[in-house]
Chains A and B, each alone.
Chain A
Amino acid sequence: MPPDINAPTMTAGPTAQVAQAPPAFDIRRVGAMALRHLYILRGSWPRVLELIYWPTIQLVIWGFVSVFFREHSTWVAQAAGVLIAAVLLWDTFFRGQIGFSMGFMEEMWSRNLASLFVTPLRPAEFIAAMVTISLCRTLLGAIPAAILAIPMFDVSIFAMGFPLFLFFMNLMFMSWAIGLLVISLLLRAGLGAENFAWFVIFLLAPVACIYYPVETLPEFLQWVAWSMPMAYVFEGMRGVLFDGVFRTDLFLAACGLNVVYFAIGATVFGFAFKTARREGQLLQVGE
C-alpha cells in the first residue's frame, strides 16, 4: 500500500503525490501561532509590564477626575462609575487594535512572514491567531486595572453584568476590523507605516463619544458617530449606568455595523495579501 502523503510525519517519498487537501481551517495551526506569541510574552517581562502599565495609569488619572466630578458635576454624580467604565472600555478598544497589529508587526520585525506563509498556515488562520492574541493581551491589561478600580475608587465595572461582556466584545470586533486595515497597510507600505497603528484609533476618539452623549456633537458629526459601533456601545453603557436599561436596539446596531466593518477589513486584507504575493512583499518586509 502506498504511504499517505497527507500524513505529515511520514518519511519523504520519492514519488510523493498529493492526494487530498489538508483541512482549510485547522485550529491547531491557530494554536501554534498563539503559542509563538505566548513565548514572546513569557520571555519578555517589559512587554507584559507595558500591557498592564497603560490601562492602570489611565485608570488612576480618570479615577481621580471622577472623584473630583462626583462632587462638582450632577451628571457624573448620577453614575459615579461612568468615566471609569468609559476609560476602561475605550482602553480595551485601543489595546485590542494594538494587540492585533502588534502580532503582525512582530512577524515583520523578525522577518518571519515568508517562513510562516510557506507552512500550511492560511491567512484566515493567521487572522484567527491575531484575534486570539489580541484578546489575551487586552484582557491581561484590562482586568488588573478593572480590579484595581474597586478598592481605589469604589467602582466595579463588573457590576454592569452581562452587558459589559457584550460591550467589550463589540469594541473588540471593531478593533480587529481596524487592525485588519492597519496590517493591510503595513503589508503594502512596510514598517514605515508602523506609527499609523498607534495613532489611527485616536482619529476615531472624538466621534466614539466615549465621555459624552452623541447629541453633544454637531449634527454632521453625529452622522459620522452613528456610522460606527463605538458610539452605540458607549451610549449603551450610559443607558445601563444611568437608567439601568440595556438598549437592545443599540446593541444590535453595533453588531450589524461590526459585521460590515469586519467584512471590509477582511476583504481589504485579502486584497493586500494577494497584492503582496504579486509584488513580493512577503519577502521584502521592513521599511
Chain B
Amino acid sequence: MTAAPVIEVAGLRKEFGAVTAVDSVSFEVGAGQTVALLGGNGAGKTTTLSMLLGLLSPTEGSVTVFGVDMITDRYRALHRLNFTSPYVDLPQRLTVAENLTVYARLYGLPNAKDRVRELAADLDLTAFLKRPVRNLSAGQKTRVGLAKALLNRPAALLLDEPTASLDPDTGDWVRSYLERYQEETGAAILLASHNMGEVERLADHVLMMKQGKIVDRDHPKALVARHGRANLEEVFLAIARRAEPGSEQEADHAA
C-alpha cells in the first residue's frame, strides 16, 4: 500500500487584483521526499509556500497537509509543520535562547529548555544562546531560523531559500544537516530555492515555476537529460529565457 502524501496541492491559484501570482499549481510531497520549487524572482514560489502554511488564502484550489485542509482547518496541522524564510525575522532584541524558548512554548513542547539546548548543540549555537539575534551574523541568524523551524520536530518542513546569503561552507553545513534530519525523521521537505547546486543535491523532484505556473517537473537528473543540458542551472536558464505561449515575452518575440 502506498502511504498518503504528506502535502497535497491541487489546482492552486492566487490572484492579487489583476495579477495572477500562482496559476493551476498541483503537486504532492511524500514522507521522506524533498520537492524543490525552482524559479526566478516573482515566479510564485514564496506565494505557494505562504498558501501551504495558511498565511495566504488561495483564490482557488486546495492544500492538504497530513490530510488536513489548510484553508479551513489549518490549526489541526500546524503543530506538525514548520518553516523558515529569509523574508521573515525573529525578534531582534531577544536573545537566541529567549526566541527559541518562546517558540518552543508556542508549540507546546513540555521540556522547552531541554529542546532549545539540544538544538543549540546540534546547530552549533550554544555559544550564542545569550546573544541578541540582532548581534548575529547572517549565517548564525540562518541557523537560528533553522533551529526555530525544527523545534517541534516537524514532519513537514517548508524551507524558503534556506541557504540564501550564506557562505559556501555554512551553506554546505546546513544542507548536510537537513539531509541528516530527513534521514532520521522521514520528514517531507518542500524547498524553494535559487541555488541550483542545492536543489540538485537535496531534491528528489523539481517543479520549475515561471510566471506562477509549473512549466516543467521531474527528477533533477531527468530534467537535465531531457533538456540536453549540462546541469540544472542551464535548464533553469533555458526555461527562464523561453517564451511561454501567451506570455509578454512571446508577444515581444513575435513583434
Contact = CB atoms under 8 A, between A and B. Distances in A.
Contacts, number: 164
Contacts of A282: 55-56
Contact of A110 (B75, B85, B89): B89
Contact of B153 (A6, A10, A26): A10
Given A9-B109, A119-B106, A14 B88 contact: no
A35 B102 contact: yes
A117 B56 CA distance: 11
Interface stretch (B90-98, B196-204, B238-246): B90-98
Given A18-B66, A22-B76, A115 B88 contact: yes
Interface in A37-70: 39-40, 43-44
B13 interface: no
Given A14-B186, A28-B105, A28-B108, A114 B55 contact: yes
Given A16-B155, A114-B88, A8 B109 contact: yes
B235 to A, nearest CB: 29
Contacts of A14: 3, 31-32, 155, 185-187
A22 B79 contact: yes
B153 A17 contact: no
Contacts of B57: 274, 277-278
A17 B156 CA distance: 11
A1 interface: no
Contact of B155 (A12, A35, A120): A12
B6 interface: yes
A5 B55 contact: no
A274 B75 CA distance: 15
B190 to A, nearest CB: 13
B106 A29 contact: yes
Contact of B92 (A26, A110, A280): A110
A12 B87 contact: no
Interface of A: 5-6, 8-18, 20-22, 24, 26, 28-29, 31-33, 35-36, 39-40, 43-44, 106, 110-112, 114-122, 274, 277-280, 282-283
A147 B185 CA distance: 57
A35 B101 contact: yes
Given A111-B88, A119-B106, A17 B66 contact: yes
B79 A6 contact: yes
B54 A277 contact: yes
Interface residues of B, number: 59
Contacts of B80: 5, 12, 16, 18
Given A14-B3, A283-B88, A118 B75 contact: no
B91 A16 contact: no
A32 B106 contact: yes
B13 to A, nearest CB: 13
Nearest to B132: A43
Given A35-B102, A35-B105, A106-B91, A11 B75 contact: no
B110 interface: yes
Contacts of A280: 16, 47, 50, 55-56
Contact of B67 (A17, A44, A279): A17
21 contacts: A8-B79, A8-B110, A9-B153, A11-B185, A13-B155, A14-B187, A28-B105, A29-B105, A33-B106, A36-B91, A36-B98, A39-B98, A43-B94, A111-B88, A118-B54, A119-B107, A120-B79, A277-B56, A277-B57, A283-B50, A283-B55
Interface in B168-195: 184-187
Nearest to B98: A39
B154 interface: yes
Which interface residue of A10, A18, A111 has the most chain B CB atoms within 10 A? A18
Contact of A120 (B4, B53, B85, B108): B108
Contact of B185 (A12, A40, A117): A12
A40 B94 contact: yes
A121 B54 contact: no
A171 B85 CA distance: 40
A57 B102 CA distance: 34
Contacts of B111: 9
A17 B4 contact: yes
Interface in B51-88: 53-57, 66-68, 73, 75-83, 85, 87-88
